[in-house]
């Protein structure tokens, strides 16, 4: 009899952690320490040479943070993972081993506004650049790839509009060009979608959102599938050739499917310093224990709210992909069979001013720049998270001036609807 693989809910509680060997503590301890004592000089040398796995300095590795990284890697079906200080840090960490000055990425137009800003402006300071295309069109993606392209980047469930990315189709384009596909899985979580199973090379998360689930910490995760051949050609010299930043170590031939993970720790965290703190990692570990339960309730509530909004005469359009009226409905059944999340937008008749009045009159909903909380959240993206974009870019990103974004929480759905109803009455009076 073969041993059955552990189920998702079991991994969410047990993966990456064992009882503490020193005390027997069942919950992962918070290792609030800066450094770790070496057994002797030879032990220290082996750690720094990556000949032995262990702890050196908490900017690089920490037992609490490592437990979180290993748990998310298990949930995503990856070979390894790195935990860092925020979702934005995770995006830079994902790109760092792949890029050099003059290189570019091809990214979806349907991204969180902060990501569009990071890719449009900030990464240019590293000598990198991004091309934005409609990822609903694989031929447009293919046409945008050139000799300097080093990655494709998209979101599973796009923020804010809820569009679903056709990950297998996008992965085929990436494979043909032999470049990695990076997927931001924040809004889906590994409970609703595991992008590696659809062909993703790397998966990034803002752990601030559904993984933690309670709005207490910021954090980011990068998961490596361990399936990409970094040595197939000379596109990724940091992984396939002697790395001068780490005494000439050739990461991929030496470390195999853990090459990306170890490079990100030994060089990325060492030099960029985007470290997650152990207390934050502990909060996220506790949050993940209830991820499956929370995501089920998030999706159930989102369905009821979206269907109610779609029938309301004060509402123009509703973008939740679980609605049969959504152009992404059938794709959602394939990519997110357990449900297409709880983040979506709706347009309010009355335009920008009506949206502002709606925001100002909600009581149960929290007006915050966050998503994935147990609480229901609302924001007017055009005047906040996407305000740095041009009006045309706002529309392409699903953040038009007459649109509000909601992240449906796990409260009693009758209370969620009642709050929207009274706020809409005042907004459209």
Q: Mean pLDDT across the chain, nearest whole number?
A: 94
> Could you tell me what percent of the chain has a pLDDT over 90?
85
Q: Which domain holds residue 191?
A: 8-287
Confidence class of residue 383 from pLDDT cuts 50, 70 and 90? confident
Q: Which of 168-177, 351-360, 390-399 is least confident?
A: 390-399
Rounded-to-integer distance, Cα 297 and Cα 283, Å: 20
> Has residue 1 got a pLDDT over 50?
no
Residue 413 has pLDDT above 80, yes or no: yes
Indicate the number of domains in the chain.
2
**Nearest-5° Cα angle at 15, 65 to 273:** 20
Residue 209: which CATH number?
3.40.640.10
Q: What values do phi and psi take at 114, rounded to 5?
A: -65, -30
Per-residue pLDDT for 394 more than 80?
no
Rounded to whole angstroms, what are the CA distances from 237 to 95, 174, 243, 302? Answer: 13, 18, 8, 45
Last residue of a domain, one of 254, 270, 287: 287
**Does residue 338 sit within a domain?**
yes
CATH of the domain at 331: 3.90.1150.10
Cβ distance 348 to 314 under 8 Å? yes
Mean pLDDT throughout 280-284?
A: 97
In a shared domain, residues 230 and 251: yes
CA gap 238, 118 in Å, rounded: 23
Q: To 10 degrees, what angle do helices 413-427 and 351-361 make?
A: 130
Residues 221, 340 within the same domain? no
Q: Is residue 213 part of a domain?
A: yes
Output the pLDDT for position 2.
57
Q: Is the pLDDT of residue 161 over 50?
A: yes
The answer to whether the CB of 104 falls within 8 A of the CB of 79 is: no
d(CA 194, CA 77): 7
Same domain, 273 and 418: no
User: Reading across the β-sheet that carries 343-348, which strands appear in turn?
Assistant: 315-318, 343-348, 403-407, 377-379, 366-367
The rounded distance, in Å, linking the Cα atoms of 410 and 24 is: 34
Specify whether 283 is located in the same domain as 296. Answer: no
Q: Per mean pLDDT, which range of 1-5, 277-281, 395-399 is the poorest?
A: 1-5
ω into 160 cis (within 30 of 0): yes
Q: Would you say residue 2 lies in a domain?
A: no
> In this predicted structure, what is the pLDDT of residue 19?
86
Q: pLDDT for 117-150, tens place per residue?
A: 999 999 999 999 999 999 999 999 999 999 999 9
Q: What is the mean pLDDT of residues 351-375?
A: 94
The residue out of 287, 316, 345 marking a domain boundary is 287
Q: What is the pLDDT averaged over residues 47-62? A: 90
On whether residue 107 sits in a domain, the answer given is yes
Q: How confident is the model at residue 388 (pLDDT cuts 50, 70, 90)?
A: confident
**Pairwise pLDDT comparison (291 vs 389), residue with the higher score:** 291
- In the listed set 230, 259, 287, which residue is the last one of a domain according to the structure? 287
The angle formed by the CA atoms of residues 120, 396 and 87, to the nearest 5 degrees, is: 50
Please give the pLDDT value at position 343. Answer: 96
Based on the domain organization, do 277 and 295 belong to the same domain? no
């Amino acid at each position: 009899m073969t041993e059955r693989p552990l189920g998702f809910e079991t991994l969410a509680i047990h993966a990456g952690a064992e009882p503490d060997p020193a005390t027997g503590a069942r919950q992962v301890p918070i290792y609030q320490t800066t450094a770790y004592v070496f057994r002797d000089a030879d032990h220290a040398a082996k750690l720094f040479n990556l000949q032995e796995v262990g702890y050196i300095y908490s900017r690089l590795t920490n037992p609490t943070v490592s437990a979180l990284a290993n748990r998310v890697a298990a949930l995503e079906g990856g070979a390894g993972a790195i935990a860092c200080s925020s979702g934005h840090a995770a995006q830079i960490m994902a790109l760092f081993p792949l890029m050099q000055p003059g290189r570019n990425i091809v990214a979806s137009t349907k991204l969180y506004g902060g990501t569009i800003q990071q890719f449009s402006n900030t990464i240019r300071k590293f000598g990198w650049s991004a091309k934005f295309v409609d990822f609903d069109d694989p031929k447009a993606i293919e046409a945008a790839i050139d000799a300097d392209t080093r990655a494709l980047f998209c979101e599973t469930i796009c923020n804010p509009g809820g569009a679903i990315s056709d990950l297998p189709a996008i992965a085929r384009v990436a494979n043909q060009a032999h470049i990695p596909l990076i997927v931001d899985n924040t809004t889906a979580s590994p409970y609703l979608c595991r992008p590696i199973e659809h062909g993703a090379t790397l998966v990034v998360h803002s752990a601030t959102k559904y993984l933690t689930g309670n709005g207490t910490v910021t954090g980011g995760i990068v998961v490596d599938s361990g399936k990409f051949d970094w040595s197939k050609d000379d596109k990724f010299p940091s992984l396939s050739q002697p790395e001068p930043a780490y005494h000439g170590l050739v990461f991929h031939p030496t470390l195999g499917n853990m090459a990306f993970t170890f490079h990100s720790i030994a060089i990325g965290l060492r030099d960029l310093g985007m470290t997650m703190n152990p207390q934050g990692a502990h909060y996220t570990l506790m949050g993940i224990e209830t991820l499956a339960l929370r995501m089920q309730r998030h999706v159930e509530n989102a369905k009821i709210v979206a269907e109610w909004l779609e029938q309301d005469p004060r509402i123009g359009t509703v973008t939740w992909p679980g609605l049969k009226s959504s152009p992404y409905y059938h794709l959602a059944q394939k990519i997110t069979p357990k449900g297409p999340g709880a983040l979506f937008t709706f347009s309010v008749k009355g335009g920008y001013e009506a949206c502002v009045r709606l925001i100002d009159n909600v009581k149960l909903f929290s007006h915050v720049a966050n998503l994935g909380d147990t609480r229901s959240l609302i924001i007017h993206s055009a005047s906040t998270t996407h305000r740095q974009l041009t009006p045309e870019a706002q529309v392409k990103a699903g953040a038009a001036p007459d649109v509000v974004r909601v992240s449906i929480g796990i409260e009693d759905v009758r209370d969620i609807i009642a709050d929207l109803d009274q706020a809409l009455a005042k907004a459209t009076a």
